[in-house]
Amino acid sequence: MEKSGSIDSLGSKPSSSRQPSVDSLSSTSTSRSDRSGPAKPPSALSSDSVSTSAEFSPELRVKPKATAKKVHRESDKEEPQLLPNESVQDMAHDITYFCPFTGALRGTVMVSNYRLFFKSMDREPAFMLDLPLGVVSRVEKIGNASTRGDVSYGVVCKDMRNLRFAHKQLEETIKKSIFEVLMKFAFPVSNGLQIFAFEYGQVFPENGWKVYDPIAEYKRQGIPNESWRITKVNDHFELCDTYPSTLVVPVNIPDEELKRVAVFRAKGRIPVLSWIHPESQATVTRCSQPMVGVNGKRSKEDEKYLQAIMDANAQSHKLFIFDARPSVNAAANKMKGGGYESEDAYQNAELVFLDIHNIHVMRESLRKLKDVVYPNIEDSHWLSNLESTHWLEHIKLILAGALRIADKVESGKTSVVVHCSDGWDRTAQLTSLSMLMLDGFYRTIRGFEVLLEKEWLSFGHRFQLRIGHGDKNHTDADRSPVFIQFIDCVWQLTQQFPAAFEFNEYFLVTILEHLYSCLFGTFLCNSEQQRLKEEIPKRTVSLWSYINSQLEEFTNPMYVNYSNQVLFPVVSLRHLELWVGYYIRWNPRMKPQEPIHQRHKELLAKRAELQKRVDELQREVTNRSVSSSSERPSSPTRSITPVQTFV
């Protein structure tokens, strides 16, 4: 398999003959700044900038009135085009929105069972704010009534924003109404209501729930084979209730033995295959920590199991165990009955700690980042303020860990086992990122959807707990931006390898928007078992249904399909950058001077036009060669090889 980039820890520079990384792009500053510019505000979320119409996704878009010249004050009462089964719950006039970028604006607030919609006609063009209620983290009353009789409310959001509204202090019932309704529908789980995804009934041409078929995906990887088999031991989630029903395990380990291994692994999360190298048969397997405890317990079944993983790869007589945690944290887990593998107990295994911090450290880091980027950026101390958040340091450690895994599998032809404590946070980050580097299929739009369904959703990343869908308990210690960090890492890869990914930045931003929106069922619940119990595929719409019905919106016009190319990014801090297009997208001053998303669509159209012309010319060449050979039957026939041209 071809390789791109280099291993930063080895200190070598990216090969000039491979896919360019950041180093080779630094000279093309204009195109680079274009790429890193913010994407347009995605589906169902408008930015805080002034706009005549909110930037909705196609099925959500508010169509501007044909008679735009005649602006009547009655248009204050206009509502956005509602979604299927969305209903207005309350509306209030003379509400002031304190926009941090344009100042105070007076207008109308509408609250539905899906969104908060604010519209002001104070200035031209009209200002609109469209906020899915799933984005709301908490609503709080700010102080008491002011001397002017205004009552202020703060709406703290999960997507980096803090919004502030005020209204006149009127009668008791009116004063409470709009914000009581807001809190009721922003936190449906806490108020005994359904999340809107269960009510949304939009029909799309494709059923996104069929994107991922585990048997088909393992078959694509060449599984089952002589060393690995598909087991149904977890068919009813009896072996492990946070694992998927379909698992791949070494062929010489019977199901009864798997059950004994599960006893020794935290939450029963035994080592199972995530990815296998098509040539060397080196594998990426994932699991949770061993239950070693302070007394250093051992399990013969677990030791035999890891030996079987190593033996399944004839190219190497060694196994690398990558523990995502700092070694101090891993040792501390022994006090709780957990721990890590002893190199004495596991023959021919080498243990490596990757020093990635826990969910609490990551949550605090994102909180600091939010303070730095919203609403205003302190330009004079920007770099030191950004450094103090440690956000990019965490991104670097995650990418560096995934890179070491990919390098061991690709260059070292060695199988690896990856785990953290429970195997559903840092483990998912590392396996999915290393697979993204190793396998070009996952760098396509559908392949990336399969990757998320497989490594994150089916393997039990706890989306409900980490995001807190519909739950008012914003101080919950289980909240953490683990998945956001993963998508950030993916964006960093797209910056270093701009032609290696079929999807664009808008695709990544859209995924994160709907991580919070509660419009689709994709990110609901904590495991495959819970989703089946709640009948999520039957009762909700998949995010992939929406995305795959308009692929041109999410396609990278620069994409070149090198399916067997391995990406080795440079992961030093000087090559990483803050994702402005996501974290600072609400600031109108950070928007690109020209609409990049529109330019990409134009490039896609031009690319299709040129490809069509190439195909026509190839047919013309073929026809001419056929006609010329028929005119000269005595002359020897020349074989014409079609030119493989990629535009």
**In the predicted model, what is the mean pLDDT of residues 526-546?**
97
Question: What is the dihedral sign for C-alpha 257, 260, 264, 269?
Answer: positive
Q: Count Cβ atoms below 10 Å from residue 624 Cβ, excluding itself.
A: 11
| Residue pLDDT, tens place only, 244-266 | 999 999 999 999 999 999 999 99
Q: Which two tokens stand for residue 447?
A: 């392949």
Residues 6 or more apart in contact with residue 409 via CB below 8 angstroms: 277, 280, 282, 283, 284, 415, 416, 434, 438
State yes or no: cis peptide before 375, omega within 30 of 0: yes
DSSP for 112-126? ESSEEEEEE-SSSS-
Q: Which residue has the tokens 């984005």?
A: 135
In the beta sheet, which residues pair with residue 285?
A: 273, 417
Percent of residues, the chain, with pLDDT higher than 70: 82
Average pLDDT over residues 331-355: 95
Written as one string, the DSSP assignment of 342-404 is: -TTTSTTEEEEE-----HHHHHHHHHHHHHHHSS---GGGHHHHHHHHTHHHHHHHHHHHHHH
Task: Among 145-149, 444-448, 593-597, 601-605, name the one with the lowest average pLDDT.
Answer: 145-149
d(CA 252, CA 306): 12
Q: Count CA atoms closer than 13 A to 206's CA, side-chain side.
A: 15
Q: Among the ranges 87-91, 289-293, 562-566, 633-637, which has the highest mean pLDDT value?
A: 289-293
Q: Return mean pLDDT, the chain.
A: 85
pLDDT value at residue 14:
39
pLDDT on residue 594:
67
Q: Is the pLDDT of residue 273 over 80?
A: yes
Q: What is the pLDDT of residue 4?
A: 62
pLDDT of res. 179 = 80
Cα–Cα distance measured from residue 302 to residue 545, given in angstroms and rounded to the nearest whole number: 41
What percent of the chain is predicted at pLDDT more than 90? 70
Average confidence (pLDDT) over 339-358: 95
Does the structure show a pLDDT above 50 at 542? Answer: yes
Average pLDDT over residues 492-502: 96
The strand pair at 565-568 and 2-5 is best described as parallel
Average pLDDT over residues 167-181: 67
Mapping DSSP onto H, E and C, the string for 165-219 reads: EEEECCCHHHHHHHHHHHHHHHCCCCCCCCCHHHCCCCCCCCCHHHCCCHHHHHH
Scan for tokens 């396509």, then name that residue.
444
For residue 188, give Cα distances in angstroms to 85, 242, 518, 519. 16, 25, 11, 13
C-beta of residue 442 within 8 angstroms of C-beta of residue 451:
yes
How confident is the model over 3-15, as pLDDT tens digits? Answer: 666 444 333 333 3
> What's the Cα-to-Cα distance from 264 to each of 274, 305, 524, rounded to whole Å?
20, 11, 29
Q: What is the pTM of this model?
A: 0.85
**Which amino acid, residue 584?**
I
- Position 411 scores a pLDDT of 96
Q: Please say whether the beta carbons of 295 and 243 come within 8 A.
A: no
Neighbours of 66 (CB within 10 A): 7
Catalytic positions are: 420
Whole-Å CA distances, 105 to 101, 143, 192, 361, 562: 11, 20, 34, 37, 51
What is the SS3 assignment for 490? Answer: helix
CA-closest candidate to residue 133, choices 157, 149, 154: 157
Q: Which whole number is the average pLDDT over 190-211?
A: 95
Question: φ, ψ for residue 109 (rounded to 5)?
Answer: -110, 130
Q: How far is CA 245 from CA 45, 112, 231, 233, 462, in A?
A: 36, 38, 9, 8, 17
Q: Write the pLDDT tens digit of every residue in 390-403.
A: 999 999 999 999 99
